[in-house]
Amino acid sequence: MPKERLQKILSAHGIASRRAAESMIKDGRVTLNKVTAVLGQSADIEADIIEVDGKRLSDKKQYVYLMLNKPKGFLTTVSDDRDRKTVMELIADVKQRVYPVGRLDLNSEGLLIFSNDGEFANKLSHPSSEKVKVYEVNITGDIEKASELLQKPVTIYENDETKEIVVKAKHVEVISKIANKGLIKISIVEGRNRQIRKMCEQCGVKVLSLKRVSIAGVELGLLKPGKWRYLTENEVKLLG
């Protein structure tokens, strides 16, 4: 088997993203044939002994795919230096080591995918995948006007508030409306950071709650908040 960069091997086995794997190597957490690895090294997973935090990496890839109904108040991250709650606490009973694919911000809830398949994760989370994501959003303001504006090009800004991004909803449906409060369903393909919230703000409405209910046709369904289940083979194909 041809040799590959260590960070690529770690990513393919679901240990971490390639960038995070590079940091793990720099921090001395990875050894190659019992010697601390350095960035730039390559290895053959079948012939070499690769260990992460003292645990050997298997040459057999046993991939796991699951979904979680993320409640509000949990960070979509593996750990937090401020000891805040993370989604990893909700899947602590999963035997295999898996990682969240994509994000939902602290105050958002709903469908979140986990896997230890690095290539699957990279493909699904990359903007070029253009997987349709559907959200149910409770908003307040001019509902009808906002539903029209959201389907037209909207300019939002990245985290540093300097880079402009033009986005628009693929589809918007008003589910219910009473006075100036209502529930709308928004479909998007880009999946930028806090995209729905930023779009709604630009269109003059305030988000009261936000829940992701579908990705690429894979539905959250009746899964209760804080609970998880394995994906079916067909669901994995839809996401992959």
Give pLDDT tens digits for 42-61.
999 888 999 999 999 876 66
Alpha helix ranges (H) inside 111-184 = 118-125, 143-149
Give the single-character DSSP code of 174.
E
Mean pLDDT of the chain: 92
Q: Which fold has domain 132-215?
A: Alpha-Beta Plaits (3.30.70)
pLDDT band at 214 (very low <50, low <70, confident <90, very high): very high
Asked whether the predicted pLDDT for residue 135 surpasses 90, the reply is yes
Compute the average pLDDT of residues 2-23: 84
Distance CA 56, CA 108 (A): 36
Position 104 scores a pLDDT of 95
pLDDT band at 191 (very low <50, low <70, confident <90, very high): confident
Which residues have a Cβ under 8 Å from the Cβ of 230 and sit 6 or more positions away?
64, 65, 66
Distance CA 209, CA 135 (A): 10
Torsion 199-221-68-121 (CA) sign: negative
Lowest mean pLDDT among 13-17, 41-45, 136-140, 179-183: 13-17
Distance CA 236, CA 175 (A): 29
Which residues have a Cβ under 8 Å from the Cβ of 91 and sit 6 or more positions away?
66, 68, 98, 114, 228
Identify whether the C-beta of residue 71 lies closer than 8 Å to the C-beta of residue 174. Answer: no
Compute the average pLDDT of residues 167-189: 96
CATH class, range 4-56 = alpha beta
Instruction: Let me know if the fold of 4-56 is the same as that of 65-128+218-239.
Output: no
pLDDT band at 63 (very low <50, low <70, confident <90, very high): confident
Position 113 scores a pLDDT of 98
| pTM beyond 0.85 | no
Domain map of the chain by residue range? 4-56, 65-128+218-239, 132-215
Tell me, rounded to whole angstroms, the distance of Cα 133 from its chain centroid.
11
Q: Which helix (H) or strand (E) holds 212?
A: strand 206-215
Position 60 scores a pLDDT of 64
Asked whether the predicted pLDDT for residue 62 surpasses 80, the reply is no
Compute the average pLDDT of residues 114-133: 88
Q: Which fold has domain 65-128+218-239?
A: Alpha-Beta Plaits (3.30.70)
- pLDDT, one tens digit per residue, over 65-100 is 999 999 999 999 998 889 899 999 999 999 888 999
Asked whether the predicted pLDDT for residue 16 surpasses 80, the reply is no
Compute the average pLDDT of residues 119-137: 90
Alpha helix ranges (H) inside the chain = 6-12, 18-26, 118-125, 143-149, 195-202, 233-239
Residues assigned a catalytic role: 105
Asked whether the predicted pLDDT for residue 114 surpasses 70, the reply is yes
Position 182 scores a pLDDT of 97
